[in-house]
Amino acid sequence: MSQIKHSESGMTARTGFRLDKVNGKFMGVCSGIANTFGWDVTLVRFGFALGTIFGFGSLLIIYLAIGLIAD
């Protein structure tokens, strides 16, 4: 089932979170987050790296959980 909404301007916008395995480096989690919120994927990856370092690895567990649970 596709989760693409058609807006009045003819543009399509994806709703909901999906992994982006095509543009992703590892499991497509950061790329999927960047696509969902319209952010730069490099900033999302940098944020995850900093969060993993300063959170003593807790974001690494969250990253793996998102990668395994999400579509």
pTM of the complete model: 0.69
Q: How far is CA 5 from CA 16, 25, 41, 60, in A?
A: 11, 27, 23, 32
> Residue 23's pLDDT is what?
81
Query: Could you tell me the pLDDT band of residue 15, with boundaries at 50, 70 and 90?
Result: low
Give the pLDDT confidence of 37-66 residue by residue, as tens digits.
Answer: 889 999 999 999 999 899 888 898 988 898
Q: DSSP assignment of the chain, as one string? A: ---EEEPTTS-EEE-S----TTT-SSTTHHHHHHHHHT--HHHHHHHHHHHHHHTTTHHHHHHHHHHHH--
